[in-house]
Amino acid sequence: MKVLIIGSGGREHAIAYCVSKSKRVDEIYCAPGNAGIAELAECVNIPVMDFDKQVDFAKETGIDFVIVGPDDPLVAGCVDAFEKAGIKVFGPRSNAAIIEGSKAFSKDLMKKYDIPTAAYENFDNAEDALAYLETADFPIVLKADGLALGKGVLICKDLEEAKAGVKEIMLDKHFGDAGNRMVIEEFMTGREVSVLAFCDGTTIKTMTSAQDHKRAKDGDQGLNTGGMGTFSPSPFYTDEIAAFCQKEIYDKTMAAMKAEGRDFVGVLFTGLMLTEKGPKVLEFNARFGDPEAQVVLPRMKNDIIDVMEACVDGRLDEIDLQFEDNAAVCVVLASDGYPVSYEKGFEIKGLDNFEDKEGYYVFHAGTKFAGQKVVTNGGRVLGVTAKGADLKEARANAYEATKLIEFDNKYMRNDIGKAIDEA
C-alpha cells in the first residue's frame, strides 16, 4: 500500500513513524514533510493548501490512502478534494472540521446538545462585545472565532484588558479574518487534559490521555505557543472522569455532529478543563494535537492503518484500540524567541544519537536540509520524546535525551511534566 501524509510538523513525523511500522505499507510520501520525515518517507514539495497538486500527485503515484495532519487544510476542504477524486482519505470533511474552524460554531453546538463547557456569548461586532463586557465578571476569556495558530485566545484580568483585547481581535484584526467574529466566555480553573479520539462518524474511541504545556516559559509564564511539551497519560484523568466524558462529551458530540449532517470522521481532539464542577470542554480540534501526538502515538499498539481505515469505512466498533501500559514525555526544543521572533538556519547536531535508541524519539517540527546538514527552520524545531515505566522515569529520560541535541539558539522549558509531582 502507498500512503501520502499531508503536513510538515512534529505531529506528521509521529504519524509517519506509526505508518512506517505498519506491515501493510510499502511506500510513504509526505507533502511537504521535513528533514526528519525524509528518513521515513519520500518528501514531495507540495504545499499543504495546494489540493489540486496533491490530488494530481496522488493519482500519478497511485496513492492508496491519504492522511491529512494539520487544521488549515482540513478546514479548507482537503479531505473533500481527495474524496471527490475517489481517493481514500483519513480526516474530517470541511463541514465537520468546522468544529475547530469556528469557535462560535463549536460553542453553539455544545449549547444545543447540552455538552458541558464554559458559559459564553458570540459576537460579530465590536460595539456589542464592548457593551457586554461592561457587566461581565473578570477574569474573562476572549477567543477569535477562526484558526489562529493556537494563539487567538486572550485571558483578560479586568475590563481595561478585555476592552483592549476586543480591539485587538475585532478592530485591529491581529488574527486576520479569524477575528471577524469572537467568543467571550467564562474563565475556568482546574487541570487541563487533552484527549484524542478516533472517530468513524458514529463510534468514537479515545486514545490514552495527555497534557500539553502551552505557555512559552517555565511556571506557565509567557505567551501562548503551539505547545512546548507534553506528557501521557495524565494522572488526573481518572477512569471515573473518562467514563463521564465518554457519555457526556464524546458520544454526545459524535451524535450531535451526525444530527447536524456533519458526520465527523478522523481524530477529534477535546481540550478539557477538570473544574470543581466536573470536566468541561475548552475547545475541540479536528486533528491530532501537536505535540500531543508525539507522546500518544508512540504508545499505541495497533497498526495505525488498520485503525484509520476502519474510521473511513465506518467500522471503528470492530477495532480494539490498545495502548502500552507505560508513559511518555515530550520536551520541545525551540528557537529562542519563539513565539515572537527568532533566527533560524542553525545546524542541528546529535540527531544520529537517536538512531536505534529504543524508547527514544526525536520528532522534527521545524527543520530542513541545507546541503548534507540539517538546520533549524521554525519556532518549534524538535520534539524529544522518551518513554519510561512511569511518568517520572519518562520525564527523566526525556530531559536526559535533550542533552544529546545541540544547536545555537536552543531553548526549552525545564518544567515539562512538573504536575506529575502533584498527582
Q: What's the CA gap between 172 and 183, in Å, rounded?
A: 16
Residues 144-163 that bind ligand GLY (CB under 6 A): 150
According to CB under 6 A, which one of 36, 227, 298, 417 is a site residue for ligand GLY? 227
Residue type, 179: G
Residues 11-70 that bind ligand GLY (CB under 6 A): none
Handedness of CA 29, 34, 39, 40 (dihedral sign): negative
Q: Is 141 in the site for ligand AMP (CB under 6 A)?
A: yes
Q: Is 399 in the site for ligand AMP (CB under 6 A)?
A: no
301 three-state secondary structure: coil
Choices 17-25, 182-190, 353-361, 389-397; region in contact with ligand AMP by CB under 6 A: 182-190
According to CB under 6 A, which one of 12, 80, 263, 292 is a site residue for ligand GLY? 292
Write the binding mask 214 to 233 for ligand AMP: x where contact by CB under 6 A, - elsewhere. Answer: x---------x---------
Residues 6+ apart with CB under 8 A from 341: none
Q: Could you tell me the smallest distance in angstroms from the CB atom of residue 58 to ligand GLY?
A: 25
- Return the DSSP state at 332: E
Q: Is 285 in the site for ligand GLY (CB under 6 A)?
A: yes
Number of residues in contact with ligand GLY, rule: CB under 6 A?
7
Handedness of CA 139, 272, 395, 338 (dihedral sign): negative
Residues 6+ apart with CB under 8 A from 304: 15, 18, 19, 21, 22, 297
Q: Is 80 in the site for ligand GLY (CB under 6 A)?
A: no
Q: Number of H helices and number of E strands within the chain?
A: 13, 23
Choices 147-155, 199-207, 255-263, 287-295; region in contact with ligand AMP by CB under 6 A: 147-155
Q: Which is nearer to ligand AMP, 170 or 282 (CB)?
A: 282
Choices 180-188, 230-238, 299-307, 379-387; region in contact with ligand AMP by CB under 6 A: 180-188
According to CB under 6 A, which one of 282, 296, 308, 398 is a site residue for ligand AMP? 282
Handedness of CA 171, 177, 180, 184 (dihedral sign): negative
Q: Three-class SS string for 305-331? A: HHHHHHHHHCCHHHCCCCECCCEEEEE
Q: Which is nearer to ligand GLY, 36 or 227 (CB)?
A: 227
According to CB under 6 A, which one of 57, 113, 138, 187 is a site residue for ligand AMP? 187
Based on the number of CB atoms within 10 Å of its own CB, is 423 exposed (0-12), middle (13-18) or buried (19 or more)? Answer: exposed
Residues in contact with ligand AMP by CB under 6 A are 118, 141, 143, 150, 153, 155, 185-188, 192, 214, 224, 271, 282-283
Residues in contact with ligand GLY by CB under 6 A are 150, 212, 227, 285, 289-290, 292
